[in-house]
Every structure is written in structure tokens, then in C-alpha cells.
Amino acid sequence: MFSTRTIFLIDGIGALLTASSLLFVPSLFPDLFGLPRNTTCLLGGIAVVLASYSLVTYAFFQPSYGKILLRGIALGNAAYCILTAWLLSPFLKELTVFGWLYFSAEVSIILFLVGWEWKTSDRC
């Protein structure tokens, strides 16, 4: 299994991939997701914050705080998924097939990660 510290690295890299996808890809392909630019920028900005939390925690990890730190990122990730669904809801008809696939996959992966982080925090 992965160490608690390594989970923060995995989470941080994933959040950076999300941020890159949402902040840079729409600049090159504005109609790819079928969402307004401000929506993708907001979600991308939040992903940067979550990535920062995870990567700073990875760099300066203290095992005695593992449980609270893992639960913190798990709750942040869960909130990101809820916010994503809420922000997408007014644009369901405008979302492209790629947008549907991207956000469905993203939320599914993040929710899997939330469960993994929460279970791991129980063992800290």
C-alpha cells in the first residue's frame, strides 16, 4: 500500500492535472467543454488551491497530523465535487460530449480518492 505521505503526492499531482485541464485547455479550445470560461477558471483555481494543500503537506508531512490532514483534503475534494455538480447544472444542455465525459470521469476519480483518503485516515 501507499504511505499516507504518498497519498498527498498522488492527490497533488491529480489536482495539478485538473487545474491544467481547466485553466489552459479551454484557452486553446474554447468550446471543448461547453462551459463559460469563468466556470472553468473557477474550478481550475480551486484545483490549484487543493494541489497546493496536498503538495505542501507532502513536502512537510508530520505523521502525528496525518489523520486530520487527510480528512481535510478528503473534505476539500468532496466539496469540489459538489461545487462542480452545482456549477455545471445550469449548463447541462450546453455541455459537449467531451465535457460530459471529462467531468464524469473527474468526479468519479476524485470520489474514489475521497474514499481512499478517508479509509486511510482511519488507520492513522
109-119 residue pLDDT tens = 999 999 999 99
Q: How far is Cα 65 from Cα 19, in angstroms, rounded to an integer? A: 26
Of 96, 98, 78, nearest to 86 (Cα)? 78
Count of structural domains within the chain:
1
CA dihedral sign, ordered 63, 64, 65, 67: positive
> Does the pLDDT at position 105 exceed 90?
yes
pTM confidence score: 0.95
86: containing domain: 4-122
- With beta carbons less than 8 A apart as the criterion, state whether 124 and 36 touch: no
pLDDT at 27: 87
Least confident of 23-27, 57-61, 76-80, 98-102: 23-27
Determine which helix (DSSP H) or strand (DSSP E) holds 84, and give its type and residue range: helix 66-88
Q: What is the pLDDT of residues 14-51, one digit of tens each?
A: 999 999 999 999 989 999 999 999 999 999 999 999 99
Higher model confidence: residue 1 or residue 93?
93
> Does the pLDDT at position 1 exceed 90?
no
- Tracing cell 465525459 back to the chain, one arrives at 101
Query: How does residue 91 score in pLDDT terms, banded at 50, 70 and 90?
Result: very high
> Does the pLDDT at position 63 exceed 90?
yes
